[in-house]
Chains A and B, each alone.
Chain A
Amino acid sequence: MTNENMILGVTDVAVHYGGVKAVDGVSFDLRRGEIHGLIGPNGAGKSTVIDAISGRRGLTRGAVHLDGQDITRCSVIERRRRGLARSFQRTSIFPNMSVGAQIGLAAHKVGAETPEQDARRVMEQLDLAGVAGTAAGSLGYGQQRRLDLALALVGRPIVLLLDEPMAGLSPQESADLAAHLLKLTRDWGVSILLVEHDTDTLFGISDCVTVFELGHVIASGRPGDVRAQPRVREAYLGSAA
């Protein structure tokens, strides 16, 4: 892989809480326009890695590069301005504000060149234009998940970090969201780092998969290759997978 292909580089990242090593010595790359899935059992360190990359957690060791620039010491806001956006494991929206108002506000705050157009484009892309005037708190769960994604998508980010975006969705809603993600990478050129427990969906849409266990990477590569590895099947997928 050449450096031009790499949009996000995670090098020897460690996050320790006192004596607990939540993540230790994790390295992987995300290529331009690809979806990179992270899987592993609960407590394996997937969400901690997302937190570390987005700036929500400080690193004990290691480095994070975005589009060739070292962003290890950048604040959350600086990372967002440089094009690194994220969604959250639990839906994180502004419940008292209308859908249109909060997407518009986000477009202004992330420094989009044409905030109104950008907000409209994101709402259309995620089928939220019809509920633009509705208070976010009164939306259904599936729409709230899409709104969470919309808040991350404004301002044309180059990398999206998605932490279990399909959690709590029905199979149909998960399939719709997966289709949206594929469309985003294809039409908008966004690269996606995706943590998801729905392994069938994740393997179906990912170009590359990294498997975590107890804060370490135990496998990484093309979905078919990863799935075939005995250690991965034992640790996470189960022998029947």
Chain B
Amino acid sequence: MSTPFRPGRLALATMGCIALTVAIGQAVSSETALSILTQAAIFALFATGVGVLLKQNGMVSFGHAAFFGLSAYCAAICLQETQWPAELVILVSLAATTIFAFLLALVIVRVPGIAFAMLTLAFGQLFYQLALKSRSLTGGADGISVAWPDTLFGIPTSTLLDNGIIFTISGVLLVLTLALLVCLHHSRFGQTTEAIRDNPERATFIGIRPTLPRALVFTLSAAITATAGILAAFNSGFISPDSLHWSISGTVLMMVVVGGYWNVTGPALGAAIYIVAKDLIGDLSTHWLSLFGVLLIVIVVFTDNGLSGALRTLAARARPTSAPRHP
């Protein structure tokens, strides 16, 4: 049986998660721990963007790092070249990346399967090369500093960059994004995109035009990733072409698969595990990608839907009366 959608329960869970995030931001005193948690929250947002594309459209992207880097570069260049207020720069950077993603999506979401993945790889690498070669604008391989002003939204930037505060901001944005995606999943639009994903021909024969819903999911996915990019640029004050490289997209895709993309929270879980565990293993961290690769193989072979799916199955087993919900 399908799980019924209970908006009240979602609102309660969202408020609870926000309260927990605020509490962690206040309670954790270690600067290093907060810094790692912030990075985990930012990459969780990035992975959530990649995950929604996979979940709703069934599409794999090897080019989402382009949106992550594009919004950050856009902010850095605008702050450097114009006198616009930083708040406007953030909005313009997000809007420009989102509009670009929508226009791109109208063309590439028509292409199915592996060809789509290759197109995302191509445009991702195109932006990587552009960032690398346009030295006068982007600083080339050296990257570019993001010159944030002294205040942002009326709050001193130094306050916002306090490890506890920036973690809280990133965490709250992540929680709100996840809540939005749960609503999307249960909406008519969510059902429409899932119908297209599972059976595009049948979807057409019940009156659904597939291109626009697919393009909108791609755009939403890019907007979430762009938000993560802005947060990363704010947190580090720096952006370089490395952030746009396809290997970043590939790593985030691994986070998504390890966490499990059929559950809305799965990609965020995968990203958090990747970032936190990488730091916890200390000296072995130089071999982290190899270790994560092994974890990826184990999870793909032994679980239906990543760690989140495995946790869900275990929870269902603990409650014998409720049947597990298949994706």
Contacts from A to B (Cβ < 8 Å): 54, 56, 76-77, 80-81, 85-86, 88, 92-98, 101-102, 105-106, 108-111, 133-135, 137-138, 151-152, 154-155
Contacts and interface: CB of A to CB of B under 8 A. Distances in A.
Interface stretch (B13-21, B65-73, B78-86, B197-205): B197-205
A54 B191 contact: no
Contact of A96 (B208, B209, B327): B327
Contact of A97 (B1, B188, B198, B208): B198
A105 B326 contact: no
Nearest to B201: A92
Contact of A98 (B2, B192, B199): B2
18 contacts: A76-B204, A76-B205, A80-B205, A85-B205, A92-B205, A94-B194, A95-B198, A96-B326, A97-B2, A97-B191, A101-B191, A105-B188, A106-B206, A108-B188, A109-B208, A133-B1, A134-B1, A135-B2
Interface of B: 1-2, 188, 191-192, 194-195, 198-199, 201-209, 325-327
Given A133-B1, A135-B326, A96 B207 contact: no
Given A101-B191, A135-B326, A94 B199 contact: yes
A96 B194 contact: yes
Contacts of A138: 326
A70 B194 CA distance: 33
A105 B199 contact: no
Nearest to B209: A77
Contacts of B2: 97-98, 101, 133-135
Contacts of A96: 194, 198, 326-327
Could you tell me the dominant secondary structure of chain A's interface residues?
A: mixed
A77 B327 CA distance: 28
Instruction: Pick from B188, B199, B206 the residue with the most CB of A within 10 Å.
Output: B206
B204 to A, nearest CB: 5
Contact of A105 (B195, B204, B209): B195
A56 B195 CA distance: 18
Contacts of B203: 94
A23 to B, nearest CB: 20
Given A102-B195, A133-B2, A138-B326, A92 B202 contact: yes
Given A95-B198, A134-B1, A151 B326 contact: no
A109 B207 contact: yes
Nearest to A137: B326
A104 to B, nearest CB: 8
A206 B195 CA distance: 33
Contacts of A151: 202, 205-206
Contacts of B194: 94, 96-97
A137 B326 CA distance: 9
A56 B202 CA distance: 11
Given A105-B188, A105-B195, A151-B202, A80 B207 contact: yes
Given A93-B199, A135-B2, A110 B206 contact: yes
B263 to A, nearest CB: 13
Nearest to A87: B205
B214 to A, nearest CB: 15
A77 B326 contact: no
Contacts of B188: 105, 108
A17 to B, nearest CB: 19
Contacts of A77: 204, 207-209
Contacts of B326: 96, 135, 137-138
B195 A97 contact: yes
A110 B1 CA distance: 25
